């Protein structure tokens, strides 16, 4: 079963930053890797599900014309809303995957440390939703912890294995290290390297 929103509310009741996302070099560096891995300097409309307290959201906001963030946990939504107050083009809503995605389409979806909370059916529904909402030329960036997390429905590597099996998507970026895997996907018919994106030969 997917982990419930009550599970995450419980974590936030005990600690405003349950994963120490704000507290150390590991997460700060990972955010820098995420930002560096985005193939484009700017995106028109981005979706970040599972935004937690908004640490990545505030880093993504300057790279987007519009940013929509979701989290099921009320405390996370409140914190992210406060942090995004200086970015009127960015907003946070209380929402959970898979459900639908927010209304409209996106040229960037950032799934950072969130898909392993979903069970197999919900993950399949999420990948379907991403494929449906990606604008032409759009990107999905997925990044997940690779070490053991027995309480999650699937390991991080399993999330990325599933993504690799989606025939409608093709990988354009892969960053692998002992702790996490980061990949960027585009529609298979539209996938281009960063050099191709920028006109380099
Ligand atoms: C580890 S934090 C990731 C934070 C942020 N994406 C990052 O990488 O810095 C995971 C967040 O996902 C949220 N979450 C859990 N299940 C979710 C779901 N089904 N849909 C969207 N978000 C979910 C949790 O409430 C939590 O805030």
Query: What's the pLDDT score for residue 100?
Result: 79
- Which single residue is written with the structure tokens 């992210």? 80
User: Shortest CA distance to 183 belongs to which of 142, 144, 145?
Assistant: 142
- Residue showing tokens 């959201």: 57
Cα 3 to ligand 1 centre (Å): 11
First to last CA, the chain: 47
Centre of ligand 1 from the C-alpha of residue 114, in Å: 5
Residue 8 Cα: closest atom of ligand 1:
25
pLDDT for the residue numbered 86 = 95
Q: 132-184: per-residue pLDDT in tens?
A: 999 999 999 999 999 988 899 999 999 999 999 999 999 999 999 999 999 99
Please indicate whether residue 185, judged by its CB atom, sits closer than 6 Å to ligand 1.
Answer: no
Query: What is the pLDDT at residue 149?
Result: 86
- State which residues form the domain around 106: 5-197
Six token digits for residue 48: 């970040």
Distance of CA 199 to the CA centre of its chain: 27
Beta bridge partners of 66: 45
Q: Which long-range contacts (CB under 8 A, 24 or more apart) does 64-69 make?
A: 64/89, 64/90, 64/108, 65/89, 66/90, 67/91, 68/92, 68/93, 68/102, 68/106, 69/93
CA of 116 to the centre of ligand 1 (A): 10
The pLDDT of 189-201, averaged and rounded, is 91
Q: Domain of 47: which CATH number?
A: 3.40.50.150
Question: What token pair was written down for 101?
Answer: 């995605």
pLDDT above 80: residue 28: yes
pLDDT in tens, 96-134: 999 778 999 999 999 999 999 999 999 999 999 999 999
Q: State which of 52, 77, 95 you would mutate to test the pocket of ligand 1, scoring each by most atoms of that ligand within 8 A of its C-beta.
A: 52
* Residue-level pLDDT at 101: 87
pLDDT in tens, 42-62: 999 999 999 999 999 999 999
Q: Are 46 and 107 in contact (CB under 8 A)?
A: yes
pTM: 0.97
The pLDDT, as a whole number, for residue 152 is 95
Look at residue 180 and give its three-state secondary structure. strand
- Looking at the 3D structure of the chain, how many domains does it have? 1
Helix (H, G, I), strand (E, B) or coil at 45: strand
Question: Distance between CA atoms of 47 and 130, rounded to whole angstroms?
Answer: 10
Looking at residues 22-31, what average pLDDT do you find?
96
The three-class DSSP label of residue 9 is helix
φ, ψ at 128 (rounded to 5°): -60, -45
């Amino acid at each position: 079963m997917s982990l419930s929103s009550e599970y995450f509310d419980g974590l936030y009741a005990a600690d405003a930053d349950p994963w120490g996302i704000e507290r150390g070099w590991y997460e700060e560096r990972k955010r820098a890797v995420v930002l560096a891995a985005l193939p484009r300097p700017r995106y028109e409309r981005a979706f970040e599900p599972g935004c937690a307290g908004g640490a990545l959201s505030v880093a993504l906001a300057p790279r987007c014309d519009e940013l929509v963030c979701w989290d099921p946990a009320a405390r996370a939504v409140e914190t992210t809303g406060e942090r995004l107050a200086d970015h009127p083009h960015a907003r946070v809503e209380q929402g959970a995957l898979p459900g639908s995605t927010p209304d409209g389409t996106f040229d960037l979806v950032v799934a950072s440390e969130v898909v392993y909370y979903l069970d197999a059916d919900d993950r399949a529904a999420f990948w379907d939703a991403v494929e449906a909402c990606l604008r032409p030329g759009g990107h999905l960036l997925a990044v997940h912890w690779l070490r053991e997390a027995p309480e999650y429905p699937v390991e991080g590597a399993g999330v990325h294995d599933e993504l690799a099996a989606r025939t409608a998507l093709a990988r354009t970026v892969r960053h692998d290290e002992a702790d996490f895997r980061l990949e960027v996907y585009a529609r298979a018919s539209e996938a281009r390297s960063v050099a191709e994106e920028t006109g380099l030969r």
